[in-house]
Amino acid sequence: METNITITVDGQEISVDPKSTLLEACAAAGARIPTLCYLKDISANASCGICVVEVEGAKSLVRSCVQNPTPGMKIHTASARVLRARKTSLELLLANHPTDCLSCIRSGTCELRKLAESLNVRSDHYPKLKTFGPPDTTSEGLVRDDSKCILCGRCVAVCSETQTVNAITFSGRGARTRVTTFMDKGLANSPCVQCGQCSVVCPTAAIAEKDQSQEVFAAIGDPNLEVVVQTAPAIRASLGEALGMPPGTLITGKMVAALRRLGFTKVFDTQFTADLTIMEEGTELIQRLQHNGVLPMITSCSPGWINFIETFYPPLIGHLSTCKSPQQMFGAIAKTYYAKVANIAPEKMRVVSIMPCTAKKGEAKRPEMTAANRWWTEQQHLETLQAPNAAYQETYQDVDWALTTRELARMIRLAGIDIAALPDEEFDNPLGESTGAATIFGTTGGVMEAALRTVYEILEGKPLENLDFSPVRGLSGIKSAEVSVGGKTLHVAVAHTLKNARILLDEIVTGRSPYQFIEVMSCPGGCIGGGGQPVLPDFERKLARNASLYKEDLRLPARKSHENHDVQRLYSDFLGNPGSHVAHELLHTTYKERPF
């Protein structure tokens, strides 16, 4: 084991690991060195020059994010030479950067702007040398704007290393260098799976979510429309953070109150259909186990993951559960079952989702996600429910808009709502009740655990004594467990990030997979680290969000999906049984190879 070494940082002698970087060593000494291109565990290419420090005896300044300490090294983190170099590097980056800070989507969270403030950059010293084309708006979920790119490389690193998608990379040389897709065809014509991790790590607005909040505001203001909203499990543990609260602050009731004040007709919970998903997915798993179906069965809740398997592993599509995600199940149920209960013409209803995910935007637009429209056509009820002079589309999606956590936070700020001052309010019925099993859908391992709670009790015919499946919890990249259920041993695995998903898929391809059931989430930590969440979610923030969801699971009176009374009523009044013809018509789908 290598022993620590002694170095001096700003006159303070400290003991550090020789394998650490100078950036980490200086942080241990209390010296906060600014960075731009660096992002722990993702990117450290030393391209920006912001993190330079002065090392006694060295002719040049040293980029601290890639340099290791040596015994006796003496470092100065804020000498006049260092501060001058950092300021010059930043001024060069700003020379070609647009000055639309007041209207930029990242205003308030832009790292470049914050750094300019901290380094006291007040004027332009260098001429603009670059021209840029229009933004890339081809993707349903993301927008790329070259004019705001500072070539830090974070997006390229997360796409290639964390997700192994390689949809974007550097092209050109020197002043012509830029981040783009293959042949510059746009994100929609690339392998991009719309996971949005690039938008989370981008320090500016060079890659950001495609904002649809104004379209939602317009719909809310239309007196002829009923606009209902659903909120994903992870939102309640991250929205507060996006509005300035400590990471992991659980604001379920205040979130409901804020959504009502924004003007939504009804505030429902995606957790209702997370419980519904478990009823359908659990039934499907049991049928596959008992009737020699395709195994391992893999969960299908994460649209980035679905895009990934459709793009890179189409021969394995048969392993996917046919269940739609809770978002899409909700849209189909809202525009059929709820429309009947509330006597609302479905073509006059708009369903808005609040999601931690940019890929949800594309999922909502998939052509097969029109189950409610097809159902009403088959039932021949459209004509009687439709207003005679209605000017609305006859073909409609189950979910009309999927907004990210960041978009909702901007809407709340725009409306002048002080969410911290709001009283807690409850979700509306009949699509608002949920269990603890649905809450943990928002974190890696949660879907697996929720499914096991229900599958165990169905197959064993008795209550589960311990509801906490600890082996599938935590933020390890791949987790596995063995569960005794129904007289058999069920081998299960959980993976988050597409890099880890690829490992499990390769095992299936080569015939080495020992599992019957696999959960995959495309983003780090699952939905708590989704591409639509507050930017730069470090490990501690993910831990805080994760802990909040498990805390909510514990406090709810029901913790198993099959104990959701409103889901039981949905089956008895409308769907029949899990896996019924109506359930398959509305709640299941098919997937296919995705060309690009």
Residues with catalytic function: 281, 284, 301, 321, 360, 363, 368, 527
Determine the Cα–Cα distance for residues 517 and 282; give it in Å rounded to an integer. Answer: 10
Determine the Cα–Cα distance for residues 310 and 540; give it in Å rounded to an integer. Answer: 32
C-alpha to C-alpha distances, 1 to 15, 19, 24, 306, 478, nearest whole angstrom: 15, 12, 20, 43, 27
Residue/partner pairs of 490-493 with CB below 8 Å, 24 or more apart: 490/289, 490/452, 490/516, 490/517, 491/515, 491/516, 491/517, 492/448, 492/452, 492/516, 492/517, 492/518, 492/519, 493/296, 493/517, 493/518, 493/519
Q: Which residue has the tokens 């950036």?
A: 23
The answer to whether the beta carbons of residues 329 and 368 sit under 8 Å apart is no
**DSSP per residue, 257-275:** HHHHHHT-SEEEEHHHHHH
Please give, one letter per residue, the 3-state secondary structure of 177-234.
Answer: CEEECHHHCCHHHCCCCCCCHHHHHCCCCCEEECCCHHHHHHHHCCCCCEEEEEECHH
C-alpha to C-alpha distances, 13 to 4, 10, 64, 72, 297, nearest whole angstrom: 13, 8, 18, 9, 56
- DSSP class of 15: E
Amino acid residing at 8: T
C-alpha to C-alpha distances, 61 to 39, 76, 86, 119, nearest whole angstrom: 20, 10, 10, 18
C-alpha to C-alpha distances, 198 to 112, 187, 529, nearest whole angstrom: 16, 12, 12
Angle at 442 between CA 436 and CA 446, to 5 degrees: 65
On the question of a cis peptide bond just before residue 296, with omega within 30 degrees of 0, the verdict is yes
On the question of a cis peptide bond just before residue 430, with omega within 30 degrees of 0, the verdict is yes
Determine the Cα–Cα distance for residues 386 and 335; give it in Å rounded to an integer. Answer: 13
**DSSP per residue, 360-376:** HHHHHT-TT--HHHHHH
Of 586, 551, 563, nearest to 248 by C-alpha is: 551
Alpha-carbon Rg for the chain, nearest whole angstrom, is 25
The answer to whether the beta carbons of residues 236 and 251 sit under 8 Å apart is yes
Q: What pairs with residue 75 in β-bridges?
A: 9, 55
Q: Which residue has the tokens 């394995």?
A: 316
- Three-state secondary-structure class, residue 521: strand
- Three-state secondary-structure class, residue 111: helix
Determine the Cα–Cα distance for residues 84 and 314; give it in Å rounded to an integer. Answer: 53
Largest CA distance in the chain: 85
- Three-state secondary-structure class, residue 415: coil
The answer to whether the beta carbons of residues 514 and 537 sit under 8 Å apart is no
Residue/partner pairs of 181-185 with CB below 8 Å, 24 or more apart: 181/136
